[in-house]
Structure 1
Amino acid sequence: MLRAPLARCVVPMATRACVSPASAGSAAGGPVEAAIRAKLEQALSPEVLELRNESGGHAVPAGSETHFRVAVVSSRFEGLSPLQRHRLVHAALSEELAGPVHALAIQAKTPAQWRENPQLDTSPPCLGGSKKTRGTS
């Protein structure tokens, strides 16, 4: 299965933001992607915000906005455990996680951690189908 290429990054003044390949034709992708981006920027003032819509690699209709991967680099994460960082992200996106977003992979790093490894992780391929149909012939 082909993996989606890493998001194409644009570096404005202070925040590095990225556009996922699926949304490269528009400024902010679809409405869910735009909401995620805006809420994370407001809540965490990230130095780096990389957002990838991975819905195309899953068993969902074309154009869906249900599966996302995000890397958020913020000084707000200093001194917090990974769980506390994820809770901050979840709190900012509570509306999206209760509705249209089915899966959200989070990399929440401090600026120093990002400098050591500045890349968005990749996701394994989707197995597709439902648990009820897997392994049956």
Structure 2
Amino acid sequence: MAETVQQEMERLLTEAFNPTRLEVVNDSAKHSGHMGDDGSGESHFTVAIEAPAFADKSRVERQRMVNKALGDIPGERVHALAIQASAPTP
């Protein structure tokens, strides 16, 4: 069975960052019938990720790192992606 987009995102982010916390939430149902809803049920996501790799990085740098790790998913296969990326607090 093929991975869902959510499962693929979880796998890619885990491989890239070995996060201490990762939550990928499918928000697509909240946007059903809205712009960007392609009917797949996998068009809108929120990612909350905490990883040491984000230490000393700005919010924009963290978001770029997440987008890079996800490859063609943001903007190509997913219409909207909210990213909450942080480093663990010591």
Percent identity over paired residues:
36
> Which residue, 59, 63, 81 being the options, matches 1:86?
63
Distance 1:57 1:83 in 2: 26
Classify the secondary structure of the residue corresponding to 1:94. Answer: coil
Which consecutive residues of structure 1, in runs of 5 or more, have no partner in the other structure? 1-29, 114-137
How does the TM-score come out when normalised to structure 1? 0.57
Structure having the higher Rg: 1
Distance 2:4 2:43 in 1: 11
Greater RCO (CA < 8 Å, at least 6 residues apart): 2
How does the TM-score come out when normalised to structure 2? 0.85
Aligned residue pairs, count: 83
> Which residue, 72, 76, 80 being the options, matches 1:95?
72
Shift of 1:99: 2.4
Query: Partner of 2:44 in structure 1?
Result: 67
